[in-house]
Amino acid sequence: MIRISEDVKTKVGITLDESESQMVFKCDLGNMKVKDCYIDEEHPQEVDMLGPNPSRLLGLAILGCLSASFIFCLKKRKFKVDDFSAEAEVIISRNEKGFLRVKNIDINIKPNITDPDALKRAKQCLKTAKDGVSFFEQYCTVTQSIRSGIDVNVTIDL
C-alpha cells in the first residue's frame, strides 16, 4: 500500500558488455521473466544492434506508458479493446550549440474497439482535462514528467 505522501523509488542498473565495443551495455531490470536486455550505442545499423539505443528506449517508455494509461482508463469501467497497437516517432535535432537533443515524440495509438459502449468510454478518455491534455494522459507518469523539455504529440485512431 502506497501512502499519498510517500515517494516511490525504482532502480535499474547496467554493466559494460564483454564484447570489444565500448558502447554496448547489459541491462539489469530486475528479476523478470524476460531477462536479456542490451543498450547499444555502437552499431549504426539495426541488424547489427544487440538492443535499442537510449532514444528508442525513451520512445518506448512514452509509448508504453500512454498505451497502458489508455487501457487503464477503459478498464476503470470494465471495458476492453479487441486489439491494440501503437507507434512512436522520436525526432532529434541539434540545439543552438550543435548538440543533438530530443525535440519531439509523436505517438500514434491504434485501438480496435467494436463494442459501442466501450467506444463511448474511449471517447470520454480522450476528452481534454483542465490542464489541456486528454483525460487518460494524466495517468501517464512518464509522459507528463518529460513534457517541459520535449513535445509529446498524441493521436488516437478510434
Partner 1 sequence: MTTELNTKVGLKQVEEMVFKGDLGSFKIDNLYIDERNVEKAEKNGTSPTKLLALSVLGCLAASFSYCLQKKNFTLSDLEGKASVTISRNEKGFWRVKKIDVEIIPKIDTPEMRKRADQCTKFFEQYCIVAESLRKGFEVNVDLKY
Site for partner 1 in 66-95 (CB under 8 A): 67-68, 71-72, 75, 80-81, 83-94
Q: How far is the CB of 114 from partner 1 (least distance, A)?
A: 15
41 binds partner 1 (CB under 8 A): yes
1 binds partner 1 (CB under 8 A): no
Contact, 21 vs 44, CB < 8 A? no
Q: How far is the CB of 75 from partner 1 (least distance, A)?
A: 7
Alpha-carbon dihedral angle through residues 40, 43, 49, 51, given to the nearest 10 degrees: 10
Q: How far is the CB of 82 from partner 1 (least distance, A)?
A: 10
Contact, 98 vs 54, CB < 8 A? no
Total site size for partner 1, rule CB under 8 A: 87
- Report 50-69 residues binding partner 1 (CB under 8 A): 50-65, 67-68
**Phi (first) and psi of residue 131, to 5 degrees:** -85, 15
Nearer to partner 1, 103 or 119 (CB): 103
- Report 115-144 residues binding partner 1 (CB under 8 A): 138-142, 144
**Phi (first) and psi of residue 136, to 5 degrees:** -70, -30
Cα 88 to its chain centre, rounded Å, is 8
Q: How far is the CB of 123 from partner 1 (least distance, A)?
A: 19
For the packed helices 54-75 and 116-125, what is the interaxial angle rounded to 10 degrees? 120
34 binds partner 1 (CB under 8 A): yes
CB neighbourhood size of 109 (10 A) = 22
Among 1, 33, 44, 132, the residue binding partner 1 under the rule CB under 8 A is 33
Grid cell in block for residue 147: 513534457
